[in-house]
Structure 1
Amino acid sequence: MISNKQIKEEFKDYFDIPLKLIFDLATTRVKVRDLLKWKEGDVIETNKMAGEYISIDIENKPLGMGEVIVLDNKFAIRITSIYTKDDLMELNVK
């Protein structure tokens, strides 16, 4: 069995590659007439609240799930699960 140390050594050349993470933090519907009225400082209500679960994607592929939390008066994401290969096969991710 390969140890974590061996895996880290084998992949160390890839550690600094930047990846795009996407947190599906909020979605909402808005009418065009309302969108055109928006200005700086307006507040847009969304369908997410602290304590709700969201998907986490990496490079547009599912990575896992997270929970919306408030940390020092800012929204943050607590990772609650990272998908396994079997999970991804079940989700039909290629």
Structure 2
Amino acid sequence: MKKAEEIKKEFEKYYDIPLKLIFDLATAKVTIRDLLNWKEGDVVETNKMAGEYINIDIENKPLGTGEVIVLDNKFAIRITNIYSKDDLMELNVK
């Protein structure tokens, strides 16, 4: 059996592979009339607020959950839960 250090070294070549993270930050319902009237600077209200929890996916698969926060006047996500193997089995993720 390989030592932990050897395994870690073996996986280092994968560390810089880019992955697509998706933060389910907000959704909104709008009418076609409203959509066609949008212009730069318009604000669209959504169903999320700072402090709410969202789903986090990686490559279209569940990764965990996070909390919407404001950091330096920008939205950010605080990771609150990374799913375990058992969680993913319960979510029926393949």
Confirm or deny a common fold (TM above 0.5): yes
User: Which residues in structure 2 correspond to 1:1-94 (within 5 Å)?
Assistant: 3=4, 5-94=5-94
Query: Which runs of at least 4 in structure 1 moved beyond 6 Å after TM superposition?
Result: none
- What is the identity, as a one-letter code, of the residue corresponding to 2:48? K
Report the CA distance between 1:9 and its aligned residue: 1.5
Amino acid in the other structure paired with 1:58:
I
Between the two proteins, the alignment pairs up a number of residues equal to 93
Amino acid at match of 2:58: I
Give, in whole Å, the separation in 2 of the partners of 1:29 and 1:68: 20
Q: Show structure 2 runs of 5+ residues with no match.
A: none
SS in 1 for 2:10: helix
Secondary structure, aligned partner of 1:70: strand
Task: Give me the identity figure in percent.
Answer: 81
| RMSD (Å) for aligned C-alpha atoms | 1.4
Gaps of 5+ in 1: none
Query: Secondary structure in 2 aligned to 1:36?
Result: helix
The Cα shift of 1:6 comes to 4.4
